[in-house]
Amino acid sequence: MIYVVKVGGNALDNADLAHDAWQEFVADVASILNDGDQVVIVHGAGPRINHVAAAFDVTGTFIDGLRVTTPDMMAVVARAVGHVTADVTSALNADTSICALGLTGASVITGQSIGEQWGQVAGDLTVDGSALRSLLESGFTPVVSCVVSDGTGGLLNANADHVAGAIAATLRADVLIQMTDVAQLRTNPDDPNTALSQVSVSDVDEMIGRGEIREGMIPKMQAAAVAVRHGAQCVVMASGLEAGALGRARRREGLYTEVMA
């Protein structure tokens, strides 16, 4: 089986790499590998980007849940994301059963700007599936960042959920697991009693159209729908803020939302 695991920036920010929650994440990755399965990890870096942007006095805004990326912000994103890739790769490699390989997304992904108002934000992502499969078959666990190539020598900032969805679709992954800062999708984002344990991609489309999916949840659910429509078997979204979260999501235990065709 192939798993694509997307770890959100908020989950990383709240799980110190020496903390039990992160150590259990590493153990859960090792468990997947020890079962003979393969893993690609995609990470976000939102809080780290915010911190670096503040340090360099670069202001930022969001449109439809996506960070507007000026040239100055692109430099901030590349710097922050590179640090996170190194941190995650190093933490995983502390377990001798994992051979993690940190990759900038630009090594295996190209995209195009989605529009002038967003600046250097990538859409229409194309993934080099052959390169990732070769790494997986050679025993590596790729750790992929969300900085991608524009195909002409420049860089673009891709939403990490979109990157994970594109990779899952290209590899025809058995499961895309989205580890984020919320446990479930809700029909009313402000009411936990409206949480959903399973939705179809058509449900996702309708909920976005009705405005029930908002802000940062939009790219997460768009990515889930793209993944399922274009090759992945299913997507499981769960909170990554607690110890053992990846293992529970893999086993479909606890709170989660599963996105199916």
CATH number of domain containing 135: 3.40.1160.10
- Order of strands, sheet of 109-113, starting from the edge strand that comes earlier in the sequence: 122-127, 109-113, 147-149, 155-157
Q: What is the pLDDT of residue 71?
A: 96
* Residue in the block written with tokens 């997947």: 32
Q: What is the pLDDT of residue 44?
A: 86
List the domain range (segments joined by +) for residue 66: 2-260
CA–CA–CA angle 73, 71, 89 (5° rounding): 55
Does residue 37 contact residue 1 with C-beta atoms inside 8 Å? Answer: yes
Burial 2-16 (b: 16+ CB within 10 A, else e): bbbbbbbbbbbbbbe
Does residue 228 contact residue 261 with C-beta atoms inside 8 Å? Answer: yes
Task: At 112, list the tokens.
Answer: 């195009």
CA–CA gap between residue 165 and residue 171 (Å, rounded): 10
Q: What is the pLDDT of residue 182?
A: 84
Q: How many domains does the chain have?
A: 1
At position 160, the amino acid (one-letter code) is: A
Query: What residue ranges in the chain does DSSP mark as E strands?
Result: 2-7, 38-43, 62-63, 66-67, 100-103, 109-113, 122-127, 141-144, 147-149, 155-157, 175-180, 185-186, 195-196, 198-200, 235-239, 257-260
Residue-by-residue pLDDT tens, the chain, 261 positions: 999 999 987 666 654 554 667 788 999 999 999 999 999 999 988 889 999 999 999 998 999 888 999 999 999 999 999 999 999 999 999 999 999 999 999 999 999 999 999 999 998 999 999 999 999 999 999 999 999 999 999 999 999 999 999 999 999 999 999 998 888 999 998 898 999 999 999 999 999 999 899 888 888 999 999 999 999 999 999 988 777 889 999 999 989 999 998
